[in-house]
């Protein structure tokens, strides 16, 4: 791969966007590589996925402005569709995805983080949706996912002003889960991923799906889905082994 560095450490997979000279801006090739990696992750035995950016400055500065400067509406639609395809895959992957935000997460970079389940940041992280400063609206799910994560008033504040917010402000809005010192961000993220990896991948996948579905469903539908999903867990060997081990005090 030219732009994604994928490393496996047991059941933890780290995807690093490796385009530091352009602050990890995501052109079409980066998106194609994401699709190919995510297709593999859907099927393999990995348990937790970490996404981060290479270098000290950026997680990702977003969609590629140089490319966008050269295109019209038809290509823009294709670019948006590709962005949505990648981010929807991340959101629907039945495994937890953690973004380790090690610097700028702007525009598509912020939207990439929004499609993850958990967001950790270093103190130098700056997040934002600066699209309106370029004459466009967020195009890779920003208007919809930001709204669901931080609420409409805060989402509109960030989108209308295009301002960059610090890791502290992002934390205070619930946009990032935790801040770690820069030098520990990846090791702390990996330790956290290992904590998750000890648990049942099936049960985590089904829980992720329930929380995601619950965001758009009414309470009654969400609760019914939970009942069916909960009962489905009882059909797995993993559940039998885990409960048996508890009862037999192993």
**Could you list the residues that contact ligand COA (CB under 6 A)?**
22-23, 25, 61-66, 104, 106-108, 130-131, 134
CA pair distance 136, 155, nearest whole angstrom? 16
Residue 96 vs 130, nearer CB to ligand COA: 130
* Smallest separation, CB 29 to ligand COA (Å): 13
Taking the C-alpha atoms of residue 115 and residue 203, their distance in angstroms, rounded to an integer, is 20
Length, in residues, of the chain: 250
> Which listed residue (75, 85, 94, 131) is catalytic?
131
Active site residue 111: yes
| Least distance to ligand COA, CB of residue 136, Å | 7
Q: Which residue is nearest to ligand COA, using beta carbons?
A: 107
Residue 241 falls in the annotated catalytic set:
no
Nearer to ligand COA, 96 or 107 (CB): 107
- The active-site residue, picked from 111, 183, 241, 248, is 111
Quote the least distance from Cβ 163 to ligand COA, whole Å: 12
| Cα–Cα dist 41/119, whole Å | 19
User: Which among 155, 162, 195, 161 is positioned nearest to 178, based on CA atoms?
Assistant: 195
- In whole angstroms, the minimum distance from the beta carbon of 243 to ligand COA comes to 48
Cα distance between residue 229 and residue 248, in whole Å: 26
CB of 30 to ligand COA, least distance (A): 11
Of the two residues 41 and 106, which places its CB atom closer to ligand COA in the complex? 106
Q: Which of 27, 23, 248 is nearest to 2 (CA)?
A: 27
CA neighbours within 13 Å on the CB side: how many for 222?
A: 13
Residue closer to ligand COA, measured from CB, 13 or 175: 175
Whichever of 79 and 192 has its CB closer to ligand COA, that residue is 79
Cβ–Cβ < 8 Å for 238, 202: yes
Write down the H helix ranges in the chain: 28-43, 65-68, 73-92, 108-114, 142-150, 152-161, 167-172, 185-197, 201-216, 219-233, 237-247
Could you give the residue numbers annotated as active site? Answer: 111, 131
């Amino acid at each position: 791969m030219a732009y994604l560095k994928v490393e496996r450490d047991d059941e933890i997979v780290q995807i690093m966007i490796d385009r530091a000279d352009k602050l990890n801006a995501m052109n079409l090739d980066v998106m194609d590589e994401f699709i190919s990696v995510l297709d593999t992750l859907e099927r393999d035995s990995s348990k937790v996925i970490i996404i981060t950016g290479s270098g000290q400055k950026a997680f990702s500065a977003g969609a590629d402005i140089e490319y966008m400067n050269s295109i019209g509406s038809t290509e823009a639609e294709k670019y948006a569709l590709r962005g949505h395809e990648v981010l929807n895959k991340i959101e629907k992957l039945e495994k937890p995805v953690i973004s380790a935000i090690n610097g700028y997460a702007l525009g598509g970079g912020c939207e990439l983080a929004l499609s993850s389940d958990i967001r950790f940041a270093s103190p130098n992280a700056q997040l934002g949706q600066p699209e309106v400063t370029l004459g466009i609206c967020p195009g890779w799910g920003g208007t919809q996912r930001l709204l669901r994560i931080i609420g409409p008033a805060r989402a509109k504040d960030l989108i209308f002003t295009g301002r960059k917010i610090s890791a502290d402000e992002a934390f205070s809005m619930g946009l990032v889960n935790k801040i770690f010192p820069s030098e520990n961000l990846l090791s702390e993220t990996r330790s956290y991923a290992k904590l998750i990896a000890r648990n049942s991948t099936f049960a985590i996948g089904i829980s992720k799906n329930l929380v995601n579905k619950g965001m758009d469903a009414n309470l009654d539908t969400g609760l019914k889905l939970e009942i069916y999903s909960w009962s489905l867990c009882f059909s797995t060997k993993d559940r039998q082994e885990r409960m048996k081990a508890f009862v037999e005090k192993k």
